[in-house]
Amino acid sequence: MRGPRSSGGIFDPEARARRIAQIDEEAAKPDLWNDHKRAQTLMREKARLQKDIESYERPLRELKDAEDLLVMAEEEGAEEFGEEVEAALDSVSTLVESLEFARMMSGPTDAAGAIVGIHAGAGGTESQDWVEMLQRMYLRWCERRGFGAVLLDTQPGDEAGLKSTTFSVDGDYAYGYLKAESGVHRLVRISPFDANARRHTTFASVFVLPDIEDTIEIEINDDDLRVDTFRSGGAGGQHVNKTDSAVRLTHLPTGIVVSCQNERSQHKNRATAMRVLKARLYDFEMKKKEADRDKVEAQKKDIDFGSQIRSYVLHPYRMVKDLRTGHETGNADAVLDGDLDEFIQAYLLQSSSHKE
Protein backbone atom coordinates (compact mmCIF):
# COMPACT_ATOMS: atom_id res chain seq x y z
CA MET A 1 0.00 0.00 0.00
CA ARG A 2 1.38 3.40 -0.98
CA GLY A 3 0.63 6.31 1.34
CA PRO A 4 -1.47 9.32 0.36
CA ARG A 5 -0.01 12.39 -1.26
CA SER A 6 0.56 15.15 1.24
CA SER A 7 0.80 18.82 0.40
CA GLY A 8 1.70 19.96 3.89
CA GLY A 9 -0.49 21.78 6.38
CA ILE A 10 -2.60 24.75 5.46
CA PHE A 11 0.13 27.02 6.87
CA ASP A 12 2.54 25.71 4.23
CA PRO A 13 1.49 27.56 1.07
CA GLU A 14 4.86 26.87 -0.55
CA ALA A 15 4.23 23.12 -0.45
CA ARG A 16 0.77 23.66 -1.93
CA ALA A 17 2.20 25.84 -4.70
CA ARG A 18 4.73 23.10 -5.53
CA ARG A 19 1.95 20.53 -5.71
CA ILE A 20 -0.06 22.81 -8.02
CA ALA A 21 2.99 23.06 -10.29
CA GLN A 22 3.22 19.25 -10.35
CA ILE A 23 -0.45 18.99 -11.28
CA ASP A 24 0.03 21.55 -14.05
CA GLU A 25 2.90 19.45 -15.42
CA GLU A 26 0.72 16.34 -15.44
CA ALA A 27 -2.19 18.26 -17.00
CA ALA A 28 0.11 19.34 -19.85
CA LYS A 29 0.58 15.69 -20.87
CA PRO A 30 -1.96 14.73 -23.58
CA ASP A 31 -2.38 11.16 -22.31
CA LEU A 32 -3.70 12.35 -18.92
CA TRP A 33 -7.00 13.29 -20.51
CA ASN A 34 -7.46 9.74 -21.76
CA ASP A 35 -8.27 8.95 -18.13
CA HIS A 36 -11.07 11.44 -17.39
CA LYS A 37 -11.55 10.19 -13.85
CA ARG A 38 -7.93 10.84 -12.89
CA ALA A 39 -7.93 14.17 -14.72
CA GLN A 40 -11.02 15.30 -12.80
CA THR A 41 -9.47 14.17 -9.51
CA LEU A 42 -6.35 16.22 -10.20
CA MET A 43 -8.37 19.30 -11.17
CA ARG A 44 -10.40 19.04 -7.95
CA GLU A 45 -7.18 18.73 -5.96
CA LYS A 46 -5.74 21.80 -7.70
CA ALA A 47 -8.88 23.85 -6.98
CA ARG A 48 -8.75 22.82 -3.32
CA LEU A 49 -5.06 23.75 -3.02
CA GLN A 50 -5.68 27.14 -4.64
CA LYS A 51 -8.51 27.74 -2.18
CA ASP A 52 -6.19 26.85 0.72
CA ILE A 53 -3.53 29.29 -0.50
CA GLU A 54 -6.13 32.04 -0.83
CA SER A 55 -7.39 31.39 2.72
CA TYR A 56 -3.82 31.87 3.92
CA GLU A 57 -3.05 34.99 1.89
CA ARG A 58 -6.35 36.85 2.38
CA PRO A 59 -5.91 37.73 6.09
CA LEU A 60 -2.36 38.92 5.34
CA ARG A 61 -3.71 41.28 2.65
CA GLU A 62 -6.48 42.58 4.91
CA LEU A 63 -4.03 43.08 7.78
CA LYS A 64 -1.82 45.14 5.45
CA ASP A 65 -4.86 47.22 4.46
CA ALA A 66 -5.67 47.79 8.14
CA GLU A 67 -2.08 48.92 8.77
CA ASP A 68 -2.31 51.38 5.86
CA LEU A 69 -5.55 52.80 7.27
CA LEU A 70 -3.94 53.19 10.68
CA VAL A 71 -1.00 55.09 9.17
CA MET A 72 -3.42 57.40 7.34
CA ALA A 73 -5.36 58.00 10.54
CA GLU A 74 -2.18 58.89 12.44
CA GLU A 75 -0.90 61.18 9.68
CA GLU A 76 -4.16 63.02 9.05
CA GLY A 77 -5.57 62.86 12.56
CA ALA A 78 -8.89 61.75 11.21
CA GLU A 79 -10.93 59.98 13.90
CA GLU A 80 -13.33 58.50 11.33
CA PHE A 81 -10.54 56.18 10.21
CA GLY A 82 -10.69 54.55 13.63
CA GLU A 83 -13.96 52.75 12.91
CA GLU A 84 -12.65 51.53 9.56
CA VAL A 85 -9.48 50.19 11.19
CA GLU A 86 -11.52 48.44 13.89
CA ALA A 87 -13.82 46.85 11.30
CA ALA A 88 -10.82 45.72 9.24
CA LEU A 89 -9.15 44.16 12.29
CA ASP A 90 -12.40 42.36 13.20
CA SER A 91 -12.49 40.93 9.68
CA VAL A 92 -8.87 39.78 9.97
CA SER A 93 -9.61 38.18 13.34
CA THR A 94 -12.54 36.22 11.86
CA LEU A 95 -10.38 35.04 8.95
CA VAL A 96 -7.57 33.96 11.29
CA GLU A 97 -10.06 31.98 13.40
CA SER A 98 -11.26 30.20 10.25
CA LEU A 99 -7.65 29.57 9.28
CA GLU A 100 -6.90 28.10 12.71
CA PHE A 101 -9.87 25.77 12.34
CA ALA A 102 -8.70 24.78 8.85
CA ARG A 103 -5.28 23.98 10.29
CA MET A 104 -6.90 21.01 12.02
CA MET A 105 -7.67 19.61 8.56
CA SER A 106 -4.04 18.88 7.70
CA GLY A 107 -4.12 15.10 8.19
CA PRO A 108 -3.06 12.92 5.25
CA THR A 109 -6.65 11.96 4.37
CA ASP A 110 -8.64 14.88 5.84
CA ALA A 111 -9.18 16.50 2.43
CA ALA A 112 -10.73 13.32 1.02
CA GLY A 113 -14.36 12.43 0.63
CA ALA A 114 -15.90 10.10 3.20
CA ILE A 115 -17.61 6.73 3.36
CA VAL A 116 -20.10 6.56 6.22
CA GLY A 117 -21.57 3.36 7.64
CA ILE A 118 -24.32 3.21 10.28
CA HIS A 119 -25.26 -0.05 12.02
CA ALA A 120 -28.07 -0.87 14.44
CA GLY A 121 -27.10 -1.92 17.95
CA ALA A 122 -29.08 -3.02 20.98
CA GLY A 123 -32.77 -2.23 20.72
CA GLY A 124 -34.37 -4.23 17.90
CA THR A 125 -36.85 -2.27 15.78
CA GLU A 126 -36.21 0.84 17.85
CA SER A 127 -32.48 0.77 17.00
CA GLN A 128 -33.23 0.16 13.32
CA ASP A 129 -35.45 3.26 13.29
CA TRP A 130 -32.57 5.12 14.97
CA VAL A 131 -30.25 4.13 12.10
CA GLU A 132 -32.66 5.70 9.62
CA MET A 133 -32.91 8.85 11.76
CA LEU A 134 -29.11 9.15 11.84
CA GLN A 135 -28.90 8.61 8.10
CA ARG A 136 -31.34 11.49 7.57
CA MET A 137 -29.37 13.67 10.01
CA TYR A 138 -26.12 13.20 8.08
CA LEU A 139 -27.75 13.61 4.67
CA ARG A 140 -29.30 16.88 5.86
CA TRP A 141 -25.86 17.99 7.13
CA CYS A 142 -24.44 17.23 3.68
CA GLU A 143 -27.14 19.37 2.07
CA ARG A 144 -26.33 22.26 4.41
CA ARG A 145 -22.65 22.16 3.41
CA GLY A 146 -23.31 21.60 -0.28
CA PHE A 147 -21.73 18.13 -0.20
CA GLY A 148 -22.96 15.37 -2.49
CA ALA A 149 -24.11 12.13 -0.89
CA VAL A 150 -24.81 8.81 -2.63
CA LEU A 151 -26.37 5.75 -0.99
CA LEU A 152 -24.21 2.68 -1.61
CA ASP A 153 -25.94 -0.07 0.36
CA THR A 154 -28.91 -0.36 2.72
CA GLN A 155 -30.34 -3.29 4.69
CA PRO A 156 -34.03 -2.69 5.57
CA GLY A 157 -35.19 -3.34 9.11
CA ASP A 158 -37.51 -6.20 9.99
CA GLU A 159 -40.47 -3.91 10.73
CA ALA A 160 -39.21 -0.37 10.21
CA GLY A 161 -36.03 1.60 9.72
CA LEU A 162 -32.71 0.16 8.59
CA LYS A 163 -30.42 -2.51 9.97
CA SER A 164 -27.49 -0.78 8.29
CA THR A 165 -26.71 1.82 5.65
CA THR A 166 -23.59 2.90 3.80
CA PHE A 167 -23.23 6.10 1.79
CA SER A 168 -20.43 8.17 0.30
CA VAL A 169 -19.96 11.91 0.82
CA ASP A 170 -18.24 13.96 -1.88
CA GLY A 171 -16.83 17.33 -0.84
CA ASP A 172 -13.57 18.98 0.16
CA TYR A 173 -12.54 17.85 3.65
CA ALA A 174 -15.67 15.71 4.05
CA TYR A 175 -13.64 13.09 5.92
CA GLY A 176 -11.87 15.74 7.99
CA TYR A 177 -15.25 16.89 9.31
CA LEU A 178 -17.12 13.61 9.53
CA LYS A 179 -14.36 11.68 11.32
CA ALA A 180 -15.70 13.44 14.43
CA GLU A 181 -18.85 11.31 14.15
CA SER A 182 -17.23 7.85 14.47
CA GLY A 183 -18.54 6.04 17.51
CA VAL A 184 -21.72 4.90 19.21
CA HIS A 185 -24.74 7.23 19.30
CA ARG A 186 -27.38 6.76 22.02
CA LEU A 187 -31.06 7.70 21.72
CA VAL A 188 -33.51 8.04 24.64
CA ARG A 189 -37.19 8.60 23.79
CA ILE A 190 -40.74 7.33 24.12
CA SER A 191 -40.76 4.58 21.53
CA PRO A 192 -43.39 4.92 18.78
CA PHE A 193 -43.23 1.11 18.50
CA ASP A 194 -44.22 0.50 22.14
CA ALA A 195 -47.98 0.22 22.65
CA ASN A 196 -47.45 1.08 26.33
CA ALA A 197 -45.58 4.31 25.45
CA ARG A 198 -42.57 3.44 27.56
CA ARG A 199 -39.22 5.17 27.38
CA HIS A 200 -36.56 3.24 25.46
CA THR A 201 -32.78 3.58 25.18
CA THR A 202 -31.22 2.41 21.94
CA PHE A 203 -27.88 2.54 20.15
CA ALA A 204 -26.36 2.72 16.68
CA SER A 205 -22.71 2.82 15.63
CA VAL A 206 -21.28 5.21 13.04
CA PHE A 207 -18.05 4.39 11.21
CA VAL A 208 -16.42 6.99 8.96
CA LEU A 209 -13.66 6.09 6.49
CA PRO A 210 -11.70 8.29 4.09
CA ASP A 211 -12.64 7.73 0.45
CA ILE A 212 -9.05 7.22 -0.66
CA GLU A 213 -9.68 6.12 -4.25
CA ASP A 214 -7.19 7.76 -6.67
CA THR A 215 -4.99 8.97 -3.80
CA ILE A 216 -3.67 5.69 -2.38
CA GLU A 217 -2.70 2.56 -4.27
CA ILE A 218 -3.95 -0.61 -2.60
CA GLU A 219 -3.27 -3.90 -4.32
CA ILE A 220 -5.80 -6.66 -3.77
CA ASN A 221 -4.88 -10.16 -4.89
CA ASP A 222 -7.71 -11.88 -6.77
CA ASP A 223 -7.01 -15.07 -4.82
CA ASP A 224 -7.76 -13.18 -1.59
CA LEU A 225 -11.19 -12.11 -2.79
CA ARG A 226 -14.50 -13.97 -2.80
CA VAL A 227 -17.20 -12.43 -4.98
CA ASP A 228 -20.89 -13.24 -4.43
CA THR A 229 -23.81 -11.84 -6.40
CA PHE A 230 -27.41 -11.67 -5.28
CA ARG A 231 -30.66 -9.98 -6.18
CA SER A 232 -30.98 -6.40 -4.95
CA GLY A 233 -33.73 -5.60 -2.52
CA GLY A 234 -36.34 -2.99 -3.36
CA ALA A 235 -39.90 -1.83 -3.07
CA GLY A 236 -41.11 -4.29 -5.67
CA GLY A 237 -43.48 -3.57 -8.55
CA GLN A 238 -42.05 -2.49 -11.88
CA HIS A 239 -38.80 -1.41 -10.20
CA VAL A 240 -37.97 -4.80 -8.70
CA ASN A 241 -34.56 -6.06 -9.78
CA LYS A 242 -34.95 -9.35 -11.64
CA THR A 243 -31.20 -10.01 -12.02
CA ASP A 244 -28.39 -10.74 -9.57
CA SER A 245 -26.90 -7.26 -9.83
CA ALA A 246 -25.96 -6.78 -6.17
CA VAL A 247 -22.37 -7.64 -5.25
CA ARG A 248 -20.80 -8.82 -1.98
CA LEU A 249 -17.00 -8.88 -1.65
CA THR A 250 -15.21 -10.82 1.08
CA HIS A 251 -11.52 -10.13 1.67
CA LEU A 252 -10.41 -13.53 2.96
CA PRO A 253 -7.18 -12.55 4.81
CA THR A 254 -8.94 -9.93 6.95
CA GLY A 255 -12.54 -11.17 6.89
CA ILE A 256 -13.76 -7.74 5.77
CA VAL A 257 -17.09 -7.93 3.93
CA VAL A 258 -18.63 -5.14 1.86
CA SER A 259 -21.64 -5.07 -0.41
CA CYS A 260 -23.30 -2.71 -2.85
CA GLN A 261 -26.73 -2.90 -4.46
CA ASN A 262 -27.42 0.74 -5.28
CA GLU A 263 -26.82 0.42 -9.04
CA ARG A 264 -28.78 -1.71 -11.51
CA SER A 265 -25.51 -2.78 -13.13
CA GLN A 266 -23.51 -5.58 -11.52
CA HIS A 267 -20.34 -4.05 -12.97
CA LYS A 268 -21.02 -0.68 -11.31
CA ASN A 269 -21.92 -2.32 -8.02
CA ARG A 270 -18.68 -4.29 -8.06
CA ALA A 271 -16.65 -1.14 -8.79
CA THR A 272 -18.32 0.69 -5.90
CA ALA A 273 -17.84 -2.28 -3.56
CA MET A 274 -14.13 -2.37 -4.46
CA ARG A 275 -13.90 1.33 -3.64
CA VAL A 276 -15.42 0.73 -0.20
CA LEU A 277 -13.22 -2.32 0.35
CA LYS A 278 -10.08 -0.30 -0.38
CA ALA A 279 -11.18 2.30 2.16
CA ARG A 280 -11.85 -0.44 4.72
CA LEU A 281 -8.43 -2.02 4.09
CA TYR A 282 -6.71 1.35 4.42
CA ASP A 283 -8.53 1.94 7.70
CA PHE A 284 -7.62 -1.61 8.82
CA GLU A 285 -3.92 -0.95 8.21
CA MET A 286 -4.03 2.41 9.98
CA LYS A 287 -5.67 0.85 13.01
CA LYS A 288 -3.00 -1.85 13.17
CA LYS A 289 -0.37 0.89 13.34
CA GLU A 290 -2.31 2.84 15.98
CA ALA A 291 -3.62 -0.04 18.09
CA ASP A 292 -2.41 1.64 21.28
CA ARG A 293 -4.54 4.74 20.81
CA ASP A 294 -7.80 5.28 22.67
CA LYS A 295 -9.66 6.14 19.47
CA VAL A 296 -9.10 2.68 18.07
CA GLU A 297 -9.97 0.99 21.33
CA ALA A 298 -13.24 2.93 21.45
CA GLN A 299 -14.27 1.56 18.06
CA LYS A 300 -13.80 -2.00 19.34
CA LYS A 301 -16.39 -1.61 22.13
CA ASP A 302 -19.86 -3.13 21.97
CA ILE A 303 -22.67 -1.02 20.55
CA ASP A 304 -24.23 -0.70 23.98
CA PHE A 305 -24.10 1.14 27.31
CA GLY A 306 -20.75 2.65 28.29
CA SER A 307 -19.37 3.02 24.77
CA GLN A 308 -21.39 5.93 23.38
CA ILE A 309 -19.84 9.21 22.23
CA ARG A 310 -23.05 11.23 22.11
CA SER A 311 -26.49 11.07 23.72
CA TYR A 312 -29.70 12.32 22.13
CA VAL A 313 -32.39 12.62 24.81
CA LEU A 314 -35.95 13.35 23.62
CA HIS A 315 -37.74 12.41 26.87
CA PRO A 316 -38.30 13.47 29.68
CA TYR A 317 -36.33 16.55 28.54
CA ARG A 318 -34.68 17.41 25.20
CA MET A 319 -30.91 17.60 24.98
CA VAL A 320 -28.04 16.41 22.82
CA LYS A 321 -24.70 16.06 24.60
CA ASP A 322 -21.30 14.94 23.31
CA LEU A 323 -19.67 12.89 26.03
CA ARG A 324 -16.14 13.49 24.71
CA THR A 325 -16.19 17.29 24.66
CA GLY A 326 -19.08 18.12 27.00
CA HIS A 327 -20.68 20.25 24.28
CA GLU A 328 -24.47 20.19 24.52
CA THR A 329 -27.62 21.86 23.26
CA GLY A 330 -31.29 21.79 24.15
CA ASN A 331 -32.32 22.13 20.50
CA ALA A 332 -32.36 18.41 19.71
CA ASP A 333 -34.64 18.89 16.71
CA ALA A 334 -32.10 21.15 14.99
CA VAL A 335 -29.32 18.61 15.54
CA LEU A 336 -31.42 15.77 14.13
CA ASP A 337 -32.11 18.04 11.16
CA GLY A 338 -28.38 18.22 10.42
CA ASP A 339 -27.14 21.12 12.57
CA LEU A 340 -23.92 19.36 13.61
CA ASP A 341 -21.21 21.95 13.01
CA GLU A 342 -20.81 23.03 16.65
CA PHE A 343 -20.39 19.41 17.78
CA ILE A 344 -17.88 18.68 15.02
CA GLN A 345 -15.92 21.85 15.70
CA ALA A 346 -15.75 21.16 19.46
CA TYR A 347 -14.39 17.67 18.82
CA LEU A 348 -11.79 18.83 16.30
CA LEU A 349 -10.62 21.64 18.59
CA GLN A 350 -10.24 19.17 21.46
CA SER A 351 -8.39 16.66 19.28
CA SER A 352 -6.06 19.37 18.01
CA SER A 353 -5.21 20.56 21.52
CA HIS A 354 -4.42 16.99 22.61
CA LYS A 355 -1.90 16.65 19.77
CA GLU A 356 -0.04 19.82 20.73
CB atoms within 10 A of CB 155: 16
Give pLDDT, residue 30.
83
Which segments in the chain show pLDDT lower than 70? 1-11, 76-82, 98-102, 213-217, 233-243, 289-306, 353-356
pTM for the full predicted model: 0.70
335 Cβ contact partners less than 8 Å away, ≥ 6 residues apart: 137, 312, 320, 329, 343
pLDDT at 138 (0 to 100): 98
pLDDT for the residue 1: 46
Domains for the chain: give ranges and CATH numbers.
13-103 (1.20.58.410), 111-356 (3.30.70.1660)
Burial of 293 (0-12, 13-18, 19+ CB in 10 A): exposed
Q: Which helix (H) or strand (E) holds 320?
A: strand 319-322
Cβ-contact 265, 188 below 8 angstroms: no
Secondary structure (DSSP) of 45-69? HHHHHHHHHHHHHHHHHHHHHHHHH
Q: How far apart are CA 97 and CA 350, in angstroms?
A: 15
Tens digit of each residue's pLDDT (9 = 90 or more) over 72-96: 777 766 666 667 777 777 777 777 7
Portion of the chain with pLDDT greater than 90, in percent: 41
113-120 and 256-260 as β-strands: parallel, antiparallel, unpaired? Answer: unpaired
